[in-house]
Chain A
């Protein structure tokens, strides 16, 4: 009696009445944590898991949300970004979801967050060992483009048959004179599994390798979880004579002047006016604030 009252009271304190902490029931969280542990143990390997129905449609980050829900605790501070921005619909609603179901603190400040859930970007700020990056993944299988059969792609992974991945790169160079794949650029993890880094721009690929933070990937519709543990080697696939390279811009960020960040093109009027600004809004704002202080 006493225990159940206390449980309910704690739930009231840290989440939404009538729901378990962070929405998912504890059995589901355990199941997902087991999948996560396996994923961390076998870097880049896609672990199947019993993905649950979530109160938002597939494609809105159901995989990432289930991973976050399984690892988040009351002491965590959560940041959610969508294409680098904290204030887009998807980011705002997921942040609000956890604020209501887990009662956790949320932030837009990359450095203040302990868990960062992301769609399609890796923050520009270098993450730390005590931070976890959770990626939302629409299509976890990098071989899918060349091989439609799941049974076959699994065998290909098992036997390290990755020649067909280079067929795609070959076609790129043939059609465009360079490897034109700009996002979801396939990587090889620790010299073993070929992995999709989720649809991040290839600009972000170098941030994955030997990184201090734990990186977790959740694909809700495809029911797959995979991971890159801290300080794991992540190599982008390429040819000897067409080495991997990242895109650059001719101009700096129009707001903060950064020359080393991923820029979004913003259309400013109906007369062809446009500007390039940092995709990572928090990073950009902090640079501007720092510049203001200096001035």
Chain B
């Protein structure tokens, strides 16, 4: 009934990420109104809703790509406690994005360097963190390509020669190689064929469980949400209209909009 019973790594630790009263307008157009939630270590939070519901704006604010008009995002920085991520100095913000967090874009081209080899793509974050040994970089890249089911013979190929599904898996490897604690995903299965989607989903599910990753995943695909997310937030017009355990929200939706969303799915 649930995607998969998983151990939550440290049940007694505090939340990893706290969002409080996040609000954002673009001109007169409100995009996000008073969104609050806590994300716990190892927890996968699905954000669902139609285009324009504010879910991508929310993701961009969480990942510090965008500043909120009001509200704050706090992150539990190891040995420092909760820090307001939007108040961090640019250098610290980048350190956070580089070593603690990852971001998987819908379009892999936005998250990859298309003009350098797959190995260099996977190794870049390690180089940024100071690894200066070619042999070790290459070995780590190969190991991670293996984890995302890309053969070692493709290590030196340009991502442009990869299929869409492989590019997306490569982007995931590039993000996870530094073993982040939190990964943001924006419609990671968006532009992929159904068969390719299934493989990617299974892979994500496995990696998330193996690494104890916390994930905020934005999707409009309720099947993706059911398979990956422990918990769901349903968004509409910039507000969270319903949230709760994934299977509870999908099987016993309370809000009219959620009921509409769930009843609109075509049964395969």
Contacts and interface: CB of A to CB of B under 8 A. Distances in A.
Interface of A: 146, 155, 158-159, 161, 163-164, 166-171, 173-175, 238-242
A159 B133 contact: no
Given A167-B113, A171-B120, A239 B133 contact: yes
A170 B94 contact: no
A238 B133 CA distance: 9
Interface hub of A169, A170, A238, A242 (most chain B Cβ within 10 A)? A170
Contact of B120 (A170, A238, A240, A241): A170
Given A167-B116, A170-B137, A159 B94 contact: yes
B87 interface: no
B79 to A, nearest CB: 21
B119 interface: yes
Interface stretch (B7-15, B121-129, B185-193): B121-129
B124 A167 contact: yes
15 contacts: A159-B90, A161-B94, A163-B125, A164-B124, A164-B127, A166-B132, A167-B123, A167-B127, A169-B134, A170-B123, A171-B116, A171-B117, A174-B117, A241-B135, A242-B134
A174 B119 contact: yes
B91 A173 contact: no
Contact of A163 (B128, B133, B138): B128
Contacts of A167: 113, 116, 120, 123-124, 127
A174 B90 contact: no
B156 interface: yes
B194 to A, nearest CB: 34
A241 B116 contact: no
Contacts of A173: 134
A192 to B, nearest CB: 14
Interface of B: 90-91, 94, 113, 116-117, 119-120, 123-125, 127-129, 132-135, 137-138, 156
A172 to B, nearest CB: 10
Contacts of A170: 116-117, 119-120, 123, 127, 134, 137
A174 B125 contact: no
Given A163-B125, A167-B116, A170-B123, A241 B134 contact: yes
A-B residue pairs, 4 tightest by C-beta: A163-B128, A166-B127, A163-B127, A239-B134
Given A159-B94, A164-B124, A239 B132 contact: yes
Contacts of B113: 146, 167
B192 to A, nearest CB: 27
B160 to A, nearest CB: 14
B223 to A, nearest CB: 37
Interface hub of B133, B134, B138 (most chain A Cβ within 10 A)? B134
B156 A174 contact: yes
Contacts of B128: 161, 163-164
Nearest to B89: A159
B156 A159 contact: no
B119 A159 contact: no
Contacts of A158: 91
Interface hub of B94, B120, B125 (most chain A Cβ within 10 A)? B120
A284 B137 CA distance: 43
Given A171-B116, A173-B134, A159 B127 contact: no
A168 B134 CA distance: 12
A146 B128 CA distance: 13
Contacts of B129: 163
Interface hub of A164, A168, A171, A174 (most chain B Cβ within 10 A)? A174
